[in-house]
Amino acid sequence: MSVPIPAPNPRHSNNNRGIAATSVSTRVRKLVLEPRMNLTVESVFADACNVVAPDGQRYSLVSSTIGDGPLNVVLNRHEPFSVIEIGDPVVSDNRGLLVGRGWRIELSRAKSWDPVPRYDRLAAWPQVVRDNIAWLIGRVAPRSPLMETPEQDVFLAGAFGSRPSDTAMQGRARQAIQALLTAHQRRDVYRIKTAARRLAGLGPGLTPSGDDWLAGWLVGLRVGNTIDKPDGPDRLPIELVGKAVLQGASNQTTELSLAFLAAAADGALSQAWHSLIDALSNADSVPIRSAAGQVLSVGATSGADMLAGFLAAFDAAG
């Protein structure tokens, strides 16, 4: 009887070589570079791990496959994240980060990446932006219908799944979203908060569908404010709406998802969304098609959920 030779344990392999970070989001750079800060690995996935500080602040170490995002430190090597375990310490020093027993991450050459797109550039081309939004509503959203008849509710298309087993969740989402849009149209901050509370945390995963939808909606409101330049009392300031949404979502969802929602409230987005925001002011249809495809490919449903919320903002703004 032959005895199989056990595979080497990746936890004890010689991975203590330097891994260079290529970029660090400016949103988390201060936290990442804080000397002698002791953090902990909160969750681990194939291409990323999420790190949390004692005060609840957090960032993500990600592979180049995922790329830049509002909370991301991007690494230039495809190291298996399996060498990292939940609960591993993350210690910062004058050289960079030491993660668990395996990784030394060098930060000295990492560029700062601004997660906030150039929304201001959209103001010069308001009609082009509106035309591209109309194209997205008419061509992209119905591709992943929420209901059997997506044309009845195009602003929810693609969100919250499409399987029959999801119908109860979809019904709750529909009611919460309608309440949110009505509250926004009526400039009712309190009801925006209560509607956001009903929507936040709805759906499975670390970033539930309801949170992704809310994030997209806040981004859409920001774009709408940019191209319409509201100076009077007819529209609520995006900062006030974002604060109400975050207050409603607090204690309703995961802390990681809340961090992403807070980033979206500030206009901070992933690289895929930067491409979409940039493409909105381009009269050529190719960039908007390509960017929409990038957004829809994010996660199992996250991209579709967020895009659905984004489009709903223009219904509310109209």
Tracing tokens 């925006």 back to the chain, one arrives at 192
What gap in Å lies between CA 87 and CA 291, rounded to an integer? Answer: 36
Question: Are the C-beta atoms of residues 75 and 85 closer than 8 Å to each other?
Answer: no
Helices (H) and strands (E) in the chain, counts: 10, 9
Question: Are the C-beta atoms of residues 220 and 313 closer than 8 Å to each other?
Answer: yes
Cα end-to-end distance, the chain, whole Å: 75
For the segment 208-239, what is each residue's pLDDT rounded down to a tens digit?
999 999 999 999 999 999 998 655 557 899 99
What gap in Å lies between CA 292 and CA 304, rounded to an integer? Answer: 9
Tell me, what's the pLDDT at 101?
81
Tell me, what's the pLDDT at 270?
98
Question: Are the C-beta atoms of residues 217 and 313 closer than 8 Å to each other?
Answer: yes
For the segment 60-107, what is each residue's pLDDT rounded down to a tens digit?
999 999 999 999 999 997 778 988 999 999 999 878 999 998 799 999
Q: Give residue limits of the domains in the chain.
A: 10-113, 119-317
Q: State whether residue 92 is helix, strand or coil.
A: strand
* CB proximity list for 245: less than 8 A, separation 6 or greater: 192, 193, 196, 214, 218, 261, 265
Copy the structure tokens of residue 118: 């150039």
Tell me, what's the pLDDT at 250?
95
Positions in the chain whose pLDDT score sits under 50:
1-15, 142-155, 157, 162-165, 318
